Amino acid sequence: MHVSATVFVICNQHQQYLDKHNQWVSGKDGQQLYRARHHDEALNTLIELNARDINLRGRIIETRLDDRGRPDVTVGADDSEQPAATVTDQD
């Protein structure tokens, strides 16, 4: 199976990354991070996140995959220091 050399991840204003369960995490477990192969796919996800949370200041980051196929990201705030917020619909 061919692994793409780069992927796109989403980071918020607290240097936390979106994971596969729509939670904001530090990024220390790269295997669990949300990733998109294409920029437009990540952009659509970011737009959906912003529609649910108008205070979100997210950005898309293109990053290489490490030798294990995980996004190579700079680890942000420790999960224990800042509680991770689950991305949910707000009415």
Q: What is the pLDDT of residues 50-90, one digit of tens each?
A: 999 999 999 999 999 988 889 988 886 554 444 444 444 44
Instruction: Provide the whole-model pTM.
Output: 0.77
Q: How far apart are CA 45 and CA 36, in angstroms?
A: 9
Instruction: Give residue-wise pLDDT tens across range 12-29.
Output: 999 999 999 999 999 999
Check residues 39 and 30 and name the one with the higher pLDDT.
39
Higher pLDDT, 1 or 45: 45
Cα 89–chain centre separation: 18
In this prediction, residue 90 carries a pLDDT of 42
Distance CA 84, CA 25 (A): 6
